[in-house]
Amino acid sequence: MSAGPASPPLTAGDDTGRRALEDVVRAFTDAFNRDDLDAVMAYFTPDALYETYDGKQCRGLAQVREAFEAQFRGDFGRIRFLTEDMVVDAPAGKVVLRWRCQHEVSARRGPRQLMYRLLYGQHFGWYGLDVLHWEAGRLREKRTYAQAGLPLVRRGRP
């Protein structure tokens, strides 16, 4: 079992707070890239909200964990998030992280990976971003957005 995240001092208005927030985001991303679901989950607050790239909202640790399980099982191949840009608002505890989600798929891991490999090849990736809301070193909200051929359309007014 992995140790939980350290709670860095997120002091408003100074460079130390910004660096601390950048460090906790890098550690969170590293947990994803190590395929350590327990370490990833240790960053979330008990009532956290995770909104997936397709608009599904997961509330609380059980739903957030369930949303990540297929990824950590390897259903989509080996996944790594490569950070391309990070915008930090330390006083507000907010980070926008732009990344490339890099997949490596194996034809031997089952029908889903075989389909991905036939469609995209062994290595492929896509771009997206996360809007992260941090509170005392813990993730309260993670909203994911993805570059896509078609936008996610919702009916009605906001």
Predicted confidence at residue 1, as pLDDT, reads 47
pTM here? Answer: 0.81
In 3D, which of 22, 2, 1 has the Cα closest to residue 10? Answer: 22
Domain housing 98: 15-146
Task: List the end-to-end C-alpha distance of the chain, in Å, as a whole number.
Answer: 42
Q: With respect to residue 10, please indicate whether it lies within any of the assigned structural domains.
A: no
pLDDT, tens digit (0-9, with 9 covering 90-100), for 84-103: 999 999 999 999 999 999 98
Q: With respect to residue 3, please indicate whether it lies within any of the assigned structural domains.
A: no
What are the two backbone dihedrals, phi and then psi, of residue 154, each rounded to the nearest 5 degrees?
-120, 140
Higher-confidence residue: 143 or 156? 143
Task: Give dist(CA 138, CA 103) in Å, integer.
Answer: 27
Predicted confidence at residue 122, as pLDDT, reads 75
pLDDT band at 153 (very low <50, low <70, confident <90, very high): low
Under DSSP, is residue 103 helix (H, G, I), strand (E, B) or coil? strand
pLDDT, tens digit (0-9, with 9 covering 90-100), for 60-86: 999 999 999 999 998 888 899 999 999
pLDDT, tens digit (0-9, with 9 covering 90-100), for 7-51: 554 444 567 899 999 999 999 999 999 999 999 999 999 999 999
Predicted confidence at residue 150, as pLDDT, reads 66
Q: With respect to residue 37, please indicate whether it lies within any of the assigned structural domains.
A: yes
**What token pair was written down for 24?**
């906790």
In the chain, how many domains are there? 1
Task: Give dist(CA 53, CA 144) in Å, integer.
Answer: 5
Q: What's 77's domain CATH number?
A: 3.10.450.50
Predicted confidence at residue 14, as pLDDT, reads 61
Q: With respect to residue 152, please indicate whether it lies within any of the assigned structural domains.
A: no
Predicted confidence at residue 6, as pLDDT, reads 55
Q: With respect to residue 95, please indicate whether it lies within any of the assigned structural domains.
A: yes
Q: With respect to residue 20, please indicate whether it lies within any of the assigned structural domains.
A: yes
